Amino acid sequence: MTENDLKYLRAAIDVARRAREHGNHPFGALLVDENGDVILQAENTVLTERDCTGHAETNLVRQASQKFAPETLARCTLYTSTEPCPMCAGAIYWSNVRRVIFALSAQSFYAFIGNTANQALPSCRTILGHGGIEVIGPAIEEEAKNVHEGFWK
């Protein structure tokens, strides 16, 4: 984990904060190319779009796959405020993004919000590992929890 990785994770948390301000669940993601440029960012839109698949990572991958070739995506890193759920991990897998870094683990997130049933969901590593995708995280979990404070109660 580099200082740049931490910078991009904090930026993903800022996108999650914006999602919350826009009336959505507080999740955010961004895509960074091999030069360190943020080329896309996406927030959760589940509530405002009335779309249960409107998770930040899935929104990001949908945009990225329309805009960039698979070869370009293979050289990118997806940063996300919280570990991707199984649906988002599947979308990332098919997108050809080869590196994922997340701030807050799913286990810690579900424990924090008191949702013990979803703690049994598989880790994103279970899905992404089949494609040889590098997964790094969790990191800066306490910072990542702040955006969720008071939202889920």
CB atoms within 10 A of CB 12: 31
| DSSP secondary structure letters along 117-134 | GGGGSPPHHHHHGGGT-E
Strand boundaries in the chain, DSSP class E: 28-32, 38-43, 77-82, 99-104, 134-136
Taking each helix axis as running N to C, give the angle between helix 56-67 and helix 3-21, from 0 to 180 degrees, rounded to the nearest 10: 110
What are residue 101's DSSP bridge partners? 79, 136
Cβ pair 111, 119 in contact under 8 A: yes
- Known catalytic membership, residue 57: yes
- Annotated catalytic residue within 21, 34, 57, 143: 57
H-helix or E-strand spanning residue 16: helix 3-21
- Catalytic annotation, residues: 57
